[in-house]
Structure 1
Amino acid sequence: MSDADDVERHACPRCVVDPGSPCRSRSGTVAGTYHTGRFMKVPRLAKRLRVPTPADRGPGQLWRSGTPPPVSIPTDTPATDIRVGYARCSHLTQELQSQLDALAAHGIPREKIFAEKVSTRVRVRPKFEAALDACRQIKAHAPHCRVECPSPTRARTHELDTLRPMFQQALQAGSPWIAAPRPPLRDELYTIGGDGRPRLGESEPTIEAANVLRCGRDLFVQISGSGNELGYRWLETVLRQLGDYRVHPVRDVYTGTTWTPASPCCGPAWCCSTPTASKRTPSRSRYAGGTGSGARRCARPAPP
């Protein structure tokens, strides 16, 4: 973060501008330097004589209000991440404590860790079902943000109307409700690619909720025939205002590719996928770089 970003996190006591905006001169233009009473609020800049306004803020030009910095989410509110752990051994003689220690090391309280020793052949696992039930209860009561994404398929454009009662119920429970721009679905949105298959153009933002995979505060958005680049940019811009969310685009992947987070708590994060149509054996690749045959490369998400 630059000096200007740190300074603009505070309001200016002299020109009375809100956080997120550069200082304003008496003539109504962007000041060439930040006022002393403002940048002294940043401890590492308190001994500076002056802090110049960067060129991208437009010093000397007509002053306009900037975008307020995102508000950090307090750690003691229900909106923060709530983790539930599950540990299992398939035989009574196997050791279970190492899994419990690994889950506890990642900040999961003991009362939210469900553990059992039960065979893989047993279909009904009581502790596993209890963990899922706890997750459902947390999901139902925690005020997480809901993002409504209308489908770019003309035959499905009104299917979200059937989910409107669910969105309204979540809103009444304190959950933010954000609706993506409803695309007009004009003819120029639909194009034909070089392979003869239909493609989405960039005349309007479209995004399909099924193309988004969330891993904590990291979201992977697939750019495909049901979501375009403008839709990805819209989602990234909106989530940036909500806090520390990171949105990663995923492009040019095989149609049958499957993404799933594996072992996010007890070991390295892996992405399991089938990268090409000709290779039927699934390969594994770390988020930090491809190690499997033909594995796609993407950024490894930071811990939430």
Structure 2
Amino acid sequence: MDVRFFFSMSYGVYIVTSMNGETPVGCTANSAMQITAEPATIAVSINHENLTHKAISESGMFALNVLSEASDPGLIGGFGFRSSRDVDKFAGVAWHYEQGLPVLEDTMGWGLCKVIDKMETETHTVFLGKVIDTGVFAQTAPAMTYEYYHKVIKGSSPKTAPTYVAPEAVAELPVTKTQWVCTVCGYIYEGDQLPAGFTCPLCGVGPEFFEKKSVEVSAEEAKPASASGTKWVCTVCGYVYEGDELPEGYTCPLCGVGAEFFEKQAAPAADTDENTEWVCSVCGYVYEGAQLPEGYTCPLCGVGAEQFEKRSK
């Protein structure tokens, strides 16, 4: 099964809230949509393991809070990667009650729903709610999409999300790269756009002789020759902080856990003559050393340093 099909589907990012007895609960959701206009109904998909599922099932009520691109991304992690059984997700969050249901204020708005039907799946319940009231806040930013969450905020999905894909499955997916191919000599430039005033380093023609194409390569092939900098990875939600050390008192901006939940990934060894080589992209000649000498040309085919690719041994 090609999981990229699911990545092509469109989703929003929401927080579904309800009441577990007298305690407000909630969880992050992306599978929510309006089903009918008259009467207005909304469907949400909630994992059986979430306490919010129990709360909606027993109370028959839920609120759908719509996040915008200006909403604090910490709301997503706080409500998505922790359980209301263990923490108070509403602590430190601006919210209030509307007709007995908790609604979040750092959002585009909210809709209060009464459950009128439901559909069971192996892992989730799809609750169909009749909208009984709505409200909006003065946020001018566009609604947050699932794509924005992943590509801009660079967040991941909790295992209870309907759209969760195991990291190992994502790692095996091919990666699309953009190439510009010279129609005269076949030289390939990799990058989203050709630089201003670019000319082919082999035959000298201008950008009008280059054709753009997309190619798929393995994730391993798409990796740069070497990474730079130390990274700290949150073991709860996967958020990555780049820096030699975590700041004092640091907490994950997505799920809110402290520094003790981060694992350090050391930076790769510095370039040295022993671990770095430069490969000529034209003829394959290999030069070993931390840097190419100034004015260097390939001793086999004569091209300049710009035709060499740096890689670690």
TM-score range, shorter chain: under 0.3
The TM-score, its normalising length taken from structure 1, stands at 0.25
Structure with the largest fraction of helix = 1
Q: Which has the higher contact order (CA 8 A, sep 6+)?
A: 2
Structure with the largest fraction of strand = 2
The TM-score, its normalising length taken from structure 2, stands at 0.25
